[in-house]
């Protein structure tokens, strides 16, 4: 999944924990092999080969479910959450070798290849009427994998566990003594600091922010979360954390809020999901705002 992953199983009498963990690893690896854009033999790469040329491809039930969810996110976000926008990474480089900002004309050219409405999704057929499109399910699959991992653990009889896939967290019951799991929420500007600690016994917690991959140009920070309508990074919220029954919901909700800029906090309130937001000026709000803060 391109990030550190962790499975924690708590208590005694948990059945064959080692075997359960092996099944989880196999499940996450299966999803990585199916939906990684970095693997030429993945199902997603097969889809993108068709997308590049134009045409249509039939997908299976699992992929269809992910595409249904991608379309729902696109509609709910008014086009901000768009799985065709990954092509914009061709313009942006984040990290020490980033260089600088891309030329506006480069972004403009790529925007011609972005847009969920440019394709046709008619289950089980995915149709690309024009060439040059590309799908990137990275904003969904890691969170979906956390939910799948939790299901594998539950099916194995594990009742007290925590799955953490690169910061996308899913709880399988509380700790063995009944206490909740305590999850720290990182400060978006202080890598060693926490802004809150969230307690969960069931459900999921996910955070989206502008700090994991970013560049600074003339004192201005540009994060990796790009608005697919403009091709430029979002600039209002620095971090959004959401609690939800499913990790895929928590992850997409936090990303949609980040992409919604100034409207993000009110959108989160309308969704009635527990949340915490921090803007680039350090202001903080949301229903989780009163939680205890720690300083790493």
Q: What angle do CA 61, 64, 65 make, to 5 degrees?
A: 90
Furthest-apart CA atoms within the chain: distance in Å: 61
Tell me which architecture the domain covering 43-136 has in CATH. Orthogonal Bundle (1.10)
Q: 62-73, pLDDT tens digit by residue?
A: 999 999 999 999
Q: Where are the domains of the chain?
A: 43-136, 180-285
The pLDDT of 198-202, averaged and rounded, is 96
Buried b (16+ CB within 10 A) or exposed e, 15-24: eebeebbebb
The CA–CA distances, whole Å, from 54 to 59, 81, 107, 174 equal 16, 23, 22, 48
Instruction: Return the pLDDT at 12.
Output: 66
Establish whether domains 43-136 and 180-285 are of one fold. Answer: no
Q: 236-281, pLDDT tens digit by residue?
A: 999 999 999 999 999 999 999 999 999 999 999 999 999 999 999 9
Distance between CA 69 and CA 74 in Å, rounded?
9
Q: Is the pLDDT of residue 107 over 50?
A: yes
Write down the mean pLDDT value for the chain: 93
CATH 3.90.1200.10 fits 180-285, yes or no: no
Which two three-digit tokens encode residue 3?
């990030």
The residue among 11 and 8 whose pLDDT is bigger is: 8
Distance between CA 56 and CA 128 in Å, rounded?
6
Q: Is the pLDDT of residue 163 over 90?
A: yes
Query: For tokens 């809020």, what's the residue?
Result: 257
Number of CB atoms found within 10 A of residue 260's CB: 22
Q: 46-58, pLDDT tens digit by residue?
A: 999 999 999 999 9
């Amino acid at each position: 999944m391109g990030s550190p992953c962790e499975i924690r199983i708590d208590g005694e009498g948990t059945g064959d924990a080692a075997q359960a963990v092996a099944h989880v690893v196999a499940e996450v690896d299966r999803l990585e092999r199916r939906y990684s854009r970095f693997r030429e033999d993945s199902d997603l790469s097969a889809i993108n080969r068709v997308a590049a040329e134009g045409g249509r491809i039939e997908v299976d039930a699992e992929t269809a479910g992910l595409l249904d969810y991608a379309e729902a996110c696109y509609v709910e976000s008014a086009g901000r959450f768009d799985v065709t926008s990954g092509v914009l990474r061709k313009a942006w480089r984040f990290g020490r070798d980033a260089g600088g900002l891309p030329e506006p004309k480069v972004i403009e050219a790529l925007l011609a290849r972005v847009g969920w409405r440019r394709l046709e999704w008619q289950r089980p057929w995915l149709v690309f009427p024009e060439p040059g499109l590309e799908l990137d399910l990275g904003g969904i699959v890691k969170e979906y994998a956390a939910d799948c991992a939790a299901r594998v653990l539950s099916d194995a009889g594990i009742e007290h566990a925590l799955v953490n896939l690169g910061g996308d967290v899913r709880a399988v019951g509380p700790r063995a003594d009944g206490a909740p799991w305590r999850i720290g929420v990182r400060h978006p500007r202080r890598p060693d600091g926490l802004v809150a600690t969230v307690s969960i016994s069931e459900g999921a917690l996910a955070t989206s922010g502008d700090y994991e991959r970013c560049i600074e140009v003339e004192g201005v920070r540009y994060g990796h979360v790009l608005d697919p309508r403009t091709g430029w990074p979002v600039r209002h919220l620095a971090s959004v954390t959401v609690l939800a029954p499913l990790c895929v919901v928590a992850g997409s909700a936090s990303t949609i809020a980040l992409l919604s800029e100034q409207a993000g906090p009110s959108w989160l309130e309308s969704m009635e999901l527990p949340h915490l937001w921090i803007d680039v000026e350090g202001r903080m709000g949301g229903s989780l705002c009163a939680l205890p803060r720690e300083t790493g």
